[in-house]
Amino acid sequence: MDNPWKGVICSIIFFEKEGLSKEEINSRLLEFKGHLKEFFDDAYDALEIIKSSWKGAFLFCFTININY
């Protein structure tokens, strides 16, 4: 994965769909992705941009699929 925050964004999206609060999500991120902690804020910022833009969401999903 060329950008580590992509994995963090995927985890945030997963935990949001599970109905977790932001505090619970942060706890889970630390548990499962603690080694990427420096990317958490960037991932949240990027996710807000993605959520506000269909084009951003499409590009993110397209990029994720190419990299896996």
The reported pTM is 0.72
Query: How far is residue 14's CA from residue 16's CA, in Å, rounded to a whole number?
Result: 5
pLDDT at 47: 86
Q: How many domains does the chain have?
A: 1
Residues 3 and 34 sit within 8 Å (Cβ to Cβ): no
- 65 has a pLDDT exceeding 60: no
Task: Give me the mean pLDDT over the 1-11 stretch.
Answer: 78
Pair of tokens at residue 50: 């993605």
Among 4, 67, 64, residue whose Cα is nearest residue 40: 4
Give the CA radius of gyration of the chain: 12
Q: Which domain covers residue 26, as residue numbers? A: 4-67
Q: At what angle do helices 22-33 and 4-17 cross, to 10 degrees?
A: 140
Pair of tokens at residue 12: 């945030």
Tell me: the pLDDT tens digits for 16-55? 989 999 999 999 999 998 888 998 998 898 888 878 876 6
- 3 has a pLDDT exceeding 90: no
